[in-house]
Amino acid sequence: MRLGRWALALVFLAIVPAAAAGCATEASPADERFAAVTALFDHEIATGKIPGAVVLIEQRGKPGYLRCFGVRDTTRRSPMTPDTIFALHSMTKPITSVAAMMLIDAGRLSLDDPVSKYIPAFADVMVGVESVADNGRPVLERVPPRRPPTIADLMRHTSGITYSYIGGPLIRQAYRDAGIFAGAFDNAVFAERIARLPLARQPGTLWRYGHSTDVLGRIIEIVSGQSLYAFEKQRIFDPLGMTSTKYVLDSDDERARMAEPLPGDTVLVVSERKRRAHPEWQSGGGGLVSTITDYARFARMILSGGELDGRRYLSAAAFKAMTTDQIGPGSGVERDYFYFPGDGFGYGYGIAVRTDPGEAKPPPPGSIGELKWDGGSGTYFGVDPKLGVITILMQQTEQERGRIVPAFKKRVYDGLAASD
């Protein structure tokens, strides 16, 4: 394995200069400010940890740092470029959440609506409680919810809907046994399948990551009368100029621009194989692909409070609700082991928001009010209203993202501090 990695590294080193040249035609002052970011990814490529990455750092709308590193994949060896397409995975969720907030803004959907108002199968949903039978064997008892899960619960991940790898062993087994990814299915079928599964907790009591945003995507379809993609394309992608953001790639050119993980990045390779095997499923929780230039348009709209280039996407009130912590003290919501917003962060309606410095010493870098989310494929975006900064990292790695993303963010804020 070690020899193979270094053999790959030699190939990457030969290609990196061309990739960097394709990303920026001339050096900028930001290159010096964020030299540590450049060094980080140069090292990741040189040691064969990842095939490549594209990074954007922008402050107050001024031309900033845009660099491409390495290759799209190790087979084609095409250099990374700003129009390289990446699987977003959970970085899809903020976009779907904005789409839902648009319908709330228009009075067509309410945060207080029960999910069963739109998907009747959820009227019969039960909560799974793990206990031990008289014979000592674990059992999953199904009990009625104390209240029905709502749209707000879907948007803040307090519905009790989980993923098959999160929760108690019997809940995880119930998800695995249900075959929710079997055969061909769309959002309508998938939501019905989820409704038959037990909730992992009583609604409104625990932040737990899961398929909530996928169910939300189906509700957007029901309320709008359009497919999720058609609604998002009409209301978000086309107005923002996000021409490469979609659920299914349409052309050979687009497929050639797709970034791939290393073959040994097993979790992501398998996950991507499953995602691509279901082009009929427009997963609002993790199905979009996009480029860094597309996602930068979305991030600029978030930085500008829900508007961009004279067009408003969310009212000021809707934007404030979405970016305000909805699970903090007094909300009654606990946090489980898999609390992905992380130290110092609360969670709004579809996006993490920095509420305090956190418990780590020194505290993680960033500002109070900072907004962020990332994806299991290694993608990350952050919006810092205090500093007027957007930060986006596009890469395709599951096994290295937990190490690279915090290292990247630290170097970004070190560079911002050095420029003050």
HSE-CB at 37 with a 13 A cutoff on CA atoms is 30
* Burial status of residue 146 (CB atoms within 10 A of its CB: 0-12, 13-18, 19 or more): exposed
Cβ within 8 Å of residue 348, ≥6 positions away: 156, 321, 322, 323, 324, 325, 326, 371
The neighbour count for residue 61, using CB atoms within 10 Å, is 11
Average pLDDT, stretch 276-304? 98
Task: Tell me which of 3.40.710.10, 3.40.47.10, 3.40.50.1100, 1.10.150.120 is the CATH number of domain 83-321.
Answer: 3.40.710.10
- pLDDT above 80 (res 78): yes
Q: What is the pTM of this model?
A: 0.93
Per-residue confidence (pLDDT) for residue 154, from 0 to 100: 98
Please write the tens of the pLDDT for every residue from 51-68. 999 999 999 988 789 999
Res 133: pLDDT: 81
Query: Where do the domains of the chain lie?
Result: 1-22+36-82, 83-321
- Tens of pLDDT along 82-135? 999 999 999 999 999 999 999 999 999 999 999 999 999 999 999 999 988 888
pLDDT-derived band at 24, boundaries 50, 70, 90: low
Span 10-19, average pLDDT: 38
The pLDDT-based confidence of 6 (bands split at 50, 70, 90) is very low
